[in-house]
A and B are shown apart, each in its own frame.
Chain A
Amino acid sequence: MARPVQYNVKNEGGKIVITDDMPPGYGGEGFFATTLDQVVGWGRKNSLWPMPFATSCCGIEFMATSASHYDIGRFGSERFAHTPRQCDLLLVMGTIAKKMGPILKQVYLQMSEPRWVIAVGACASSGGIFDTYSVLQGIDQIIPVDVYVPGCPPRPEAILDGLLKCQDLVGQESLRRRNSDKYKALLNSYGIE
């Protein structure tokens, strides 16, 4: 079935509509003035490099999200690096058992600041239906989490929504946040120096 192709830049009667928001600022002929915070945030949020940490069922839904049908690349996040050193977004998908816990923490520590974490699915968020001796009851017990995506497993649309929510966070984050005492206290509460 043929479907009309849509672009995010539409030409409606000679007027160009750009759907991606520019940071607010003062513009004119040949110049655009805004704050550094906003322009850096704008740049960061549209070029997140996710590190997929897929352990179980949610990983399969993530495969669907990144494949042709749902295509996470539409949101500037298709560049999976699989190495924590290069990534700034950790996507934890699936159950994290206690045996896996230290490894997840190590992966988080290997990422450089600024870094964000999305807990995809019920297991990563809270342990889900597995309230057992071997399962960690949510990854927020070992690393700080920015966005939680509910569902068991979440639909690809939900994962995309979680990514967009995270982009909002990233775009609005102040440049000083990572140096603040509050942030240091947060990391200290997880035993991270």
Chain B
Amino acid sequence: MSLTNEYIRQRITEKFGDAITNVEEPAGFLTFEVPKEMNLKVMQFLHDDNELKFRFLTDLCGVHYPNQEGRELAVVYHMHNLVDNVRLRMKVFTGINDPDVFTATSLFESANWQERETYDFYGINFVGHPNLKRILNVDEMDYFPMRKEYPLEDQSRIDKDDEMFGRGGSIS
């Protein structure tokens, strides 16, 4: 029997009940949200279950939604069942003032640097991470550049003329 989105949905709601929210299928890609305290439990279940077998962490990244009060930061996990070739997307939301999320490094080694990158960009504090420090930017940096309020360009730059180079512009 091939693994369908309905079946996965049924299994996780059976196991976790109302904790699984916002279940959607944009472009056939099963997406759901879990409370941030439960991210590891759900991942562990998806990983260990003999039918679900989501044992490959494809991707992990952060998103910043400045307008959602209390749940500004999101961590998005893309998981893959390589045997049945099914993917799913799991989201965890957290407030910007207490950005603590449990680390997935105990389950997947590949989460290590991806979590460091997410920390570097968004300042999400992965609780239990073995080596949570900046990875792409310099250690001296004192802000989290991918948050929406920070500009793209280097503000200390003086050589290029704003009028000619159109700094700070945004098309949206």
Residues of A within 8 A of B (CB): 98-99, 131-135, 137-138, 141
B108 to chain A, nearest CB (A): 27
Whether A131 contacts B152 by the Cβ 8 Å rule is yes
Whether A99 contacts B137 by the Cβ 8 Å rule is yes
A133–B157 Cα gap in the complex (Å)?
A: 9
Whether B154 contacts A132 by the Cβ 8 Å rule is yes
Which residues of A are found within 8 Å of B145, using beta-carbon distances? 133-134
Q: Can you show 13 pairs from A to B with CB atoms below 8 A apart? A: A99-B138, A131-B153, A131-B165, A133-B145, A133-B150, A133-B154, A134-B136, A134-B137, A134-B145, A135-B154, A137-B157, A137-B159, A141-B159
Which residues of B are found within 8 Å of A133, using beta-carbon distances? 145, 150-154
A131–B136 Cα gap in the complex (Å)?
A: 17
State the majority secondary structure of interface residues on A: loop
Which residues of B are found within 8 Å of A141, using beta-carbon distances? 159
Closest A-B pairs by Cβ, 4 of them: A99-B138, A133-B154, A131-B153, A133-B145
State the majority secondary structure of interface residues on B: loop
A28 to chain B, nearest CB (A): 54
Q: Mark B148-162, 1 if CB is under 8 A from A, else 0.
A: 001111100101100
A138–B165 Cα gap in the complex (Å)?
A: 15
B113 to chain A, nearest CB (A): 16
Cross-chain contact of A98 among B138, B150, B151 (Cβ < 8 A): B138
Which residues of B are found within 8 Å of A99, using beta-carbon distances? 137-138
A99–B140 Cα gap in the complex (Å)?
A: 10
A22 to chain B, nearest CB (A): 42
A37–B159 Cα gap in the complex (Å)?
A: 36
Whether B160 contacts A137 by the Cβ 8 Å rule is yes
Among residues of B, the one whose C-beta sits closest to the C-beta of A140 is B159
A51–B167 Cα gap in the complex (Å)?
A: 35
A141–B150 Cα gap in the complex (Å)?
A: 24
A131–B153 Cα gap in the complex (Å)?
A: 6
Whether B138 contacts A132 by the Cβ 8 Å rule is no
A99–B141 Cα gap in the complex (Å)?
A: 11
Whether B137 contacts A131 by the Cβ 8 Å rule is no
Whether B167 contacts A131 by the Cβ 8 Å rule is yes
Which residues of B are found within 8 Å of A138, using beta-carbon distances? 159
A70 to chain B, nearest CB (A): 33
B160 to chain A, nearest CB (A): 7
Which residues of A are found within 8 Å of B165, using beta-carbon distances? 131
Which of B153, B154, B167 has the largest number of chain A CB atoms within 10 A? Answer: B154
A96 to chain B, nearest CB (A): 13
Which residues of A are found within 8 Å of B150, using beta-carbon distances? 133
Which of A98, A133, A134, A141 has the largest number of chain B CB atoms within 10 A? Answer: A133
B143 to chain A, nearest CB (A): 9
